[in-house]
């Protein structure tokens, strides 16, 4: 197997890319990819945290609605939670359905 070679852009001389010559290039590439991976990991973590916060808000809103659903019949007011949300449309309805099951 032949060693990889690069061609000098100035003199067009072929230079064998030995391990000692390639090491700095490989390390720089590895460092760059590690930095990109760390940035992506941070971005994913930030999005996951935002989703956790949103799920918590939805859970609290559902609890509040369920509490109201328990209190209102005592006050002589009757309705079902399903009357508040359309079954086939609405952003909140789809969020609630996806977070509950």
pTM across the whole model: 0.47
pLDDT number for residue 90: 55
pLDDT number for residue 64: 84
Report the distance separating Cα 18 and Cα 3, nearest Å.
7
How many structural domains does the chain have? 1
Task: Say if CB 7 and CB 14 are below 8 A apart.
Answer: yes
Q: Is the pLDDT of residue 47 over 90?
A: yes
Q: Which domain holds residue 92?
A: 5-100
pLDDT number for residue 44: 96
pLDDT number for residue 88: 47
Strand partners, 16: 5
Residues contacting residue 65 through CB under 8 Å, at least 6 positions apart: 81, 84
Mean pLDDT of the chain: 78
Report the distance separating Cα 57 and Cα 47, nearest Å.
15
Q: Is the pLDDT of residue 76 over 60?
A: no
């Amino acid at each position: 197997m032949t060693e990889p070679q690069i061609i000098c852009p100035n003199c067009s001389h072929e230079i064998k890319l030995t391990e000692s010559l390639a090491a700095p290039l490989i390390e720089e590439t590895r460092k760059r990819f590690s930095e990109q991976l760390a940035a992506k990991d941070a971005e994913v973590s930030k999005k996951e945290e935002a989703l956790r916060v949103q799920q918590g808000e939805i859970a609290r809103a559902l609890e509040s609605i369920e509490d109201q659903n328990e209190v209102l019949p005592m006050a002589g007011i009757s309705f079902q939670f399903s009357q508040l949300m359309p079954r086939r449309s609405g952003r909140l309805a789809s969020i609630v359905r996806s977070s509950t099951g």
